[in-house]
């Protein structure tokens, strides 16, 4: 029922807010040609050029550059997440960077690619009781696309990091697609939905109005013409075996990453915790909770979410009887990049670039699902007619 083999078609892709090329790596591996990339960050562009060349990269403000974007089949955008991130100021759509999302809408509307993939932090589902995601989903759902989203974790794809991200995909409605197809959730994950909410799921008329929804959004869902159906799966059935932080550590890391003496003094005022939170091993902190004040992590679990926040780059880990921060190379490995991917910039600047990046392994899974045949549970003729009428109106 669900084929996950890429179709034998030549696609052309673009990257908005390309960063250091997490999408590009995944698309290159799938032999999909990227014909345009854009970012405003000079450091990110240095790294992108160093790894992929300068021919397709355009550095600058997307508000001006969007008029020069070529026609394409797949649009990708890891749009700026700081407005939504728990590590930022959480302004969301009220932040000028949050309005960059509307630039994505403009490009999709003007170029009508067959597919798109958007990526952001999980937090946008819950900010201000779902208001921010409601705004994003409502604008996307007005376009002639079947929208689907899902929260997935980097730890499920062989990366030793707890990193939950939401991926939003869109499939253009054309003569070959007359009804919604489910792609980001398989039959095993849908078992509970089909058992308890099938009647609601299969009938578009029972879906919720996006603009009137003021709650936390579920972790998975589909949307079409200003309505949606959602559900939070209990687990991710396709996950790979968990890797611990120990598996990515560098041997004999330079002493410049060491904080042993200072940390030993701070431990005297810290609380021994030695427990796991979301797979992360926490050894000490000042408050005794999951993450309060001065925290020291162990390596028997996975790393906590890497971020672009400078303060987070100096977190302490107990590694081989030394207290030190993670190296830039370890950041690369935790994000699924080659060790020297960011060598074009300073070690200090590499931390923020990796912290902002999208792991290629996560993109590979989403891309494979997006280009699969998918599954549909909308077989009734009247349902297809209803959806078609909604589109035409």
What confidence score (pLDDT) does residue 5 get?
43
The neighbouring-strand residues paired with 224 are 227
Both 227 and 330 in one domain: the answer is no
**Average pLDDT, whole number, for the chain?**
86
CATH number, domain with residue 200: 3.40.50.150
Both 122 and 262 in one domain: the answer is no
Mean pLDDT computed over 153-165: 97
Tell me the pLDDT tens digit for each residue of 6-57: 555 789 999 999 999 999 999 999 999 999 999 999 999 999 999 999 999 9
Both 189 and 101 in one domain: the answer is yes
Residue 189 to residue 145: CA distance in whole angstroms = 23
Query: Which residues are within 8 A (CB) of 144 and not within 5 positions of it... i.e. 6 or more apart?
Result: 112, 172, 173, 391
Residue 372 to residue 45: CA distance in whole angstroms = 32
Residue tagged active-site, from 18, 81, 94, 342: 81
Both 272 and 172 in one domain: the answer is no
Residue at 347 is within a domain: no
- pLDDT interval class at 293 (50, 70, 90): low
Tell me the pLDDT tens digit for each residue of 366-384: 999 999 877 765 544 444 4
Residue at 7 is within a domain: no
Both 69 and 176 in one domain: the answer is yes
The single-letter DSSP state of residue 1 is -
Both 230 and 268 in one domain: the answer is no
Q: Is 81 a catalytic residue?
A: yes
Residue at 198 is within a domain: yes
Domain boundary residue, one of 336, 368, 383 = 336
Overall number of domains in the chain: 2
The neighbouring-strand residues paired with 38 are 58
Residue at 351 is within a domain: no
Q: Over 347-358, what HEC string results?
A: HHHHHHHHHHCC
Sign of the Cα torsion 258, 264, 265, 269 reads positive
User: The tokens 């999980």 sit on which residue?
Assistant: 122
Residue at 151 is within a domain: yes
Mean pLDDT computed over 238-246: 94
User: Which residue range is the domain that position 258 belongs to?
Assistant: 245-336
Mean pLDDT computed over 325-344: 98
Query: Which residues are within 8 A (CB) of 145 and not within 5 positions of it... i.e. 6 or more apart?
Result: 108, 116, 170, 171, 172, 173
Both 215 and 304 in one domain: the answer is no
Residue at 55 is within a domain: yes
Residue 225 to residue 387: CA distance in whole angstroms = 9
Residue at 206 is within a domain: yes
Both 99 and 149 in one domain: the answer is yes
Both 145 and 70 in one domain: the answer is yes
Both 148 and 119 in one domain: the answer is yes
Both 234 and 249 in one domain: the answer is no
Residue 170 near residue 351 (C-beta atoms within 8 A): no
Both 170 and 32 in one domain: the answer is yes
Sign of the Cα torsion 211, 214, 216, 218 reads negative
What confidence score (pLDDT) does residue 97 get?
45
Which of the two residues, 336 and 308, has the higher pLDDT score? 336
CATH number, domain with residue 298: 3.90.120.10
């Amino acid at each position: 029922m669900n084929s996950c083999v890429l179709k034998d078609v030549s696609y052309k892709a673009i990257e908005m807010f390309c960063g250091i090329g997490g999408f590009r790596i995944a698309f290159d591996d799938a032999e999909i040609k990227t014909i345009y990339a854009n970012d405003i960050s000079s450091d990110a562009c240095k790294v992108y050029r160093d790894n992929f060349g300068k021919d397709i990269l355009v550095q600058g403000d997307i508000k001006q550059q969007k008029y020069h974007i070529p026609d394409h089949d797949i649009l990708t955008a890891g749009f700026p997440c700081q407005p939504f991130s728990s590590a930022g100021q959480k302004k969301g759509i009220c932040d000028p960077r949050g309005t960059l999302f509307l630039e994505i809408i403009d490009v999709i509307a003007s170029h009508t690619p067959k597919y798109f993939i958007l990526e952001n932090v999980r937090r946008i589902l819950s900010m201000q009781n779902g208001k921010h995601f409601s705004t994003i989903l409502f604008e996307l759902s007005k376009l002639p696309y079947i929208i689907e989203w899902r929260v997935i974790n980097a730890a499920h794809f062989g990366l030793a990091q707890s990193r939950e991200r939401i991926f939003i995909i869109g499939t253009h409605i054309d003569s070959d697609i007359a009804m919604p197809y489910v792609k980001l959730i398989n039959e095993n994950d849908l078992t509970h939905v089909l058992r308890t909410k099938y009647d609601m799921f299969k009938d578009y008329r029972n879906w919720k109005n996006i603009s009137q929804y003021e709650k936390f959004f579920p972790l998975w869902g589909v949307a079409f013409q200003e309505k949606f159906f959602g559900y939070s799966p209990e687990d991710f059935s396709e996950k790979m075996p968990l890797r611990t932080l120990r598996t990515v550590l560098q041997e004999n890391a330079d002493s410049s990453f060491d904080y042993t003496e200072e940390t030993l003094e701070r431990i005297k005022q810290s609380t021994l915790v030695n427990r796991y939170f979301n797979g992360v091993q926490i050894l000490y902190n000042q408050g005794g909770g999951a993450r309060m004040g001065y925290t020291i992590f162990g390596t028997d679990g996975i790393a906590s979410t890497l971020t672009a926040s400078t303060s987070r780059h100096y977190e302490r880990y107990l590694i081989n009887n030394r207290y030190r921060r993670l190296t830039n190379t370890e950041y690369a490995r935790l994000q699924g990049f080659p060790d020297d991917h960011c060598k074009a910039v300073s070690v200090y600047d590499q931390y923020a670039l990796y912290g902002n990046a999208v792991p290629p392994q996560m993109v590979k899974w989403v891309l494979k699902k997006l280009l699969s045949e998918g599954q549909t549970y909308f077989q009734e003729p009247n349902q297809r007619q209803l959806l078609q009428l909604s589109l035409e109106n």
